Structure 1
């Protein structure tokens, strides 16, 4: 078994990406992920969405997620219920919960997404 080593990364080292099912300038940096650090149980991303950008509604079978809104305003859908989210809101999403997030504000919507485990589907 290969041991994962501890690392320090600067956010500038990881390029912005538009992952599948993300649209309109929904960009993320996969700061801690199997592909970037060799992590096995954690995916940690920072995302910034331009006005009107969104991720389409989706569900995870076993993943838990936490969204932490750092700046901006958007609309979060959780199992069909829509709620405005803004700076300092923290959203917990359990497995089996259909969800999406959309920037409905006037400026950038910036947030952290933490997911575990990373391999569920």
Structure 2
């Protein structure tokens, strides 16, 4: 069970490109394969100009912490410019969209609870 992960070296971590996103690659950090049962944590990377198209999660709360890069984050009907050190909480059922606007890739910690089953790694 791998519980300590170096965010600068994610090559061994299971990854996925989520549907409804462009230019995005997520790596699983906390997942069923390493013992998580109720919480999912990913490292998300969205290349400049890439985006998570507007969507919502009807049964899952989601939070984002910006590690690097810049984005335009739409929460409901409001747009917010975010950069490193910013945190946003998205309650279940609230529309949101992320557009990577910087010159470097947007890097995020993505936290979801309860764990969405459709994104569990198939290890």
**TM-score over 0.5 (shorter chain):** yes
User: What TM-score, normalized to structure 1?
Assistant: 0.84
> Unaligned stretches of 5+ in structure 2?
119-123
CA RMSD of aligned residues (A): 1.9
Q: 1: distance between equivalents of 2:38 and 2:66? A: 22
- Alpha-carbon distance, 1:74 to partner: 0.5
SS in 2 for 1:105: coil
SS in 2 for 1:41: coil
> Aligned residue for 1:101?
98
Q: 1:42 aligns with which of 21, 39, 53?
A: 39
1:80 paired to 2:77: yes
Runs of 4+ with deviation above 4 angstroms:
none
> Unaligned stretches of 5+ in structure 1?
1-5
Aligned residue runs from structure 1 range 36-75, under 5 A:
36-75=33-72
Aligned residues: 114
User: What TM-score, normalized to structure 2?
Assistant: 0.82
Q: 2: distance between equivalents of 1:96 and 1:120? A: 17
1:112 paired to 2:109: yes
